[in-house]
Amino acid sequence: MFPEKFEYYAPESIEEATKFLNGHEDAKVLAGGQSLIPLLKLRFTSIPQLVDIGRLKGMDSISFQGNTLRIGPMARTHSIAEDPQIRKKFPILSEAAGLIADPLVRNMGTIGGDICHGDPANDFPAVMLALNATFEVTSAKGKRTIKAQDFFTDTFTTALNPGEILTGITIEDRNSSGRYMKYKKYAGDFSILGIAVNLSMDSGKIKEAGIGLTNCGATALKATEAEKFLVGKEVTDDNIAKAGDLLLKAADFMDDDNGSVKFKEKLLKYLFTKAVKGIGGVPK
Look up the pTM and report it: 0.94
Which pLDDT tens digit goes with each residue over 251-282? 999 999 999 999 999 999 999 999 999 996 55
Same domain as 126, residue 70: yes
Q: Which domain holds residue 199?
A: 189-278
Q: Are residues 164 and 202 in the same domain?
A: no
pLDDT at 283: 44
For the stretch 81-127, pLDDT in tens is 999 999 999 999 999 999 999 998 999 999 999 999 999 999 999 99
**Residue 141 placed within a domain:** yes
* Residue 284 resides in a domain: no
210 band by pLDDT with thresholds 50, 70 and 90: very high
CA distance 14 to 12: 7
Domain match, 69 and 166 both = yes
78 domain residue, yes or no: yes
195 and 147 inside one domain: no
My answer on whether 34 and 82 are in the same domain is no
pLDDT tens digits for 172-192?
A: 998 999 999 999 987 777 889
Q: Are residues 196 and 273 in the same domain?
A: yes
In CATH, what number is assigned to the domain containing residue 202?
3.30.390.50
Number of domains in the chain: 3
DSSP 242-261: HHHHHHHHH-----BTTB-H
Q: In the chain, pLDDT over 90 holds for what percent of residues? A: 81
Whether residue 42 is found in the same domain as residue 74? no
* Element holding 127 (H helix, E strand): helix 124-130
CATH number, residue 92: 3.30.465.10
Residue 15 scores a pLDDT above 70: yes
Distance CA 70, CA 196 (A): 19
Identify whether 219 is part of a domain. yes
Q: Give mean pLDDT, residues 156-176.
A: 95
pLDDT at 44 exceeding the cut of 80: no
Residue 1's pLDDT band, with cuts at 50, 70 and 90, is: low
